[in-house]
Amino acid sequence: MTWTKSHSGPRPDSPRQIIGTLIVVLALLFGPLAAPQPGSGQDGSGAPLGLLLTWQRDPLTTMTIDWHTGSNTTAQELRYRRVGAAEWLEGPSPDRSPFPHVEETFIHRIELTDLEPGTEYEFRLAEGGRTYRFRTMPADLRSPVRFASGGDVRHEREMMERMNRVVVPYDPDFILWAGDLAYADGLPERAYRWVDFLDVMMRSLVTSEGRAIPVLAAPGNHEVRGGFHRNSEAYAPGPEWQREFAPYYFALLAFPGHPGYGVLDFADYLSILLLDTDHTGPIEGAQTEWLRSTLEARTEVPHVFPAYHVPAYPSVRNPQGGVSTRVRELWTPLFDEFGVRVAFEAHDHTFKRTHPIRGGAVHPAGVVYMGDGAWGVRNRVIGASHPEPAWYLDRALTDRHFSLVTLHGPHLHILTVNEDGRVIDEYPEAPTLPR
Ligand SMILES: [Fe+2]
């Protein structure tokens, strides 16, 4: 009951938070959630229960906006305009789908297209409702692009909020999470965790100018009932099993959707690959073949980042674990072959950065593996399950953290900041200049 415990700490500071707590208590008493009432639009404020921005296609010219509402909400229309433009434009009518396991609650989804690259837009969901902003990605890297990377996001609400508040002032273009988001485990009785997660996002992943920060997220074991598809006797490849066993991940995140992995290309300068380490489907077979052809087609792209949950080179767990071993056998040779520089991992709840590794050994031109998933979770002990000290770890710390990745032309710089706002790592390390 860690969630309940988290709410016995700081006093809720608004009627909406008090009611959020009541919803949780009801959920704990009666199982699946009743429809959330306040804040779902009936109060006339137009405020949704949650807001989630992401991309399904070209991040230069599109934006996917999801919002979530409770019962009796009249269909909300989205209007948008370029910041500074006089006219509001009407968004397309939203696709509406049920919020899994929360009665009378809905996901509304639209994709805005034909936008201008590198441009700030504003949108609102109702006349007189709050105006939010979003930003399309630039056409090239003449100006820096920044994203915040991490994983293992929310054991407790306060932990997630605290990290979000450290992240947002850095003004990242988007957030990349390598799995384990709301810790609902795909279970109907834990839907409340996603309601709360989306509420936290809407409250604390918005900049002071009102810009909602888009999110890309790979699946982790806590998105799936049983954690790994191999644990399910009912497993059958395809969307049907995925929708049943990972209902929130597939319903609430427009990308990557089925089959649980995908690539997003930012013009010709950046490609993000979201991969699935055995959660909603197998590492081997179709996914590995797809990974090979996807990396092979992007050897000219200067910045290619795979992000996935279970680490090839874990900081806490035993590296001989089955999933880690399969990632090293099937995926890391492809990273080596096609010139990946950095891969983002999670799952172990620490900060780690490996030495550059190629062919399973330290190599100056190798891949650096960064992780290990500690955005808003309790930390673990480094090396706790290692049979011997890990040769591959360059740096490992028990800090909750995020990594700010800055891309500028061909250059890559990664600053890791802990939840107190202190820089705990810099990659590449600043050279010592001769005096
Ligand atoms: Fe995990």
What is the tens place of the pLDDT at every residue in 213-249? Answer: 999 999 999 999 999 999 999 999 999 999 999 999 9
CA of 409 to the centre of ligand 1 (A): 33
CA of 387 to the centre of ligand 1 (A): 20
CA of 145 to the centre of ligand 1 (A): 28
CA of 28 to the centre of ligand 1 (A): 23
Q: Let me know if residue 376 belongs to a domain.
A: yes
Residue 413 pLDDT level (bands cut at 50, 70, 90): very high
Q: What is the pLDDT of residue 47?
A: 80
CA of 372 to the centre of ligand 1 (A): 10
Dist CA 57 CA 70 (whole Å): 28
Q: Let me know if residue 284 belongs to a domain.
A: yes
Q: Let me know if residue 54 belongs to a domain.
A: no
Residue 12 pLDDT level (bands cut at 50, 70, 90): very low
How many CB atoms sit inside 10 A of residue 356's CB?
A: 18
pLDDT at 128 over 80: no
Q: Let me know if residue 251 belongs to a domain.
A: yes
Q: Let me know if residue 329 belongs to a domain.
A: yes
Q: What is the pLDDT of residue 344?
A: 98
Q: What is the pLDDT of residue 429?
A: 82
pLDDT at 39 over 70: no
Rg (Cα) of the chain, in Å, rounded?
Answer: 21
CA of 309 to the centre of ligand 1 (A): 7
CA of 400 to the centre of ligand 1 (A): 15
Q: What is the pLDDT of residue 115?
A: 98
Dist CA 209 CA 171 (whole Å): 10
Residue 70 pLDDT level (bands cut at 50, 70, 90): confident
Helices (H) and strands (E) in the chain, counts: 9, 23
How many CB atoms sit inside 10 A of residue 168's CB?
A: 18
DSSP readout, 354-413?
EPPEETTEE-TTSBEEEE---SSS----TTTT-SS--TTEEEEE---EEEEEEEETTEEE
Q: What is the pLDDT of residue 18?
A: 47
Q: What is the pLDDT of residue 433?
A: 72
Residues 6+ apart with CB under 8 A from 410: 141, 302
Q: Let me know if residue 433 belongs to a domain.
A: no
pLDDT digits 0-9 by tens, 288-326: 999 999 999 999 999 999 999 999 999 999 999 999 999
Structural domain count of the chain:
1
Report the chain's mean pLDDT, rounded to a whole number. 90
Residue 45 pLDDT level (bands cut at 50, 70, 90): low
Residue recorded with tokens 């071993």 = 325
Q: Let me know if residue 140 belongs to a domain.
A: no
Q: What is the pLDDT of residue 432?
A: 72
CA of 382 to the centre of ligand 1 (A): 15
pLDDT at 1 over 50: no
Q: What is the pLDDT of residue 78?
A: 93
pTM as predicted: 0.90
Least confident of 21-30, 124-133, 274-283: 21-30
Quote the percentage of the chain above a pLDDT of 70. 88
Dist CA 310 CA 346 (whole Å): 6
Whichever domain contains 380, its CATH number is 3.60.21.10
Q: Let me know if residue 362 belongs to a domain.
A: yes
Owning domain of residue 288? 145-427
Residue 84 pLDDT level (bands cut at 50, 70, 90): very high
pLDDT at 29 over 70: no
Q: What is the pLDDT of residue 236?
A: 96
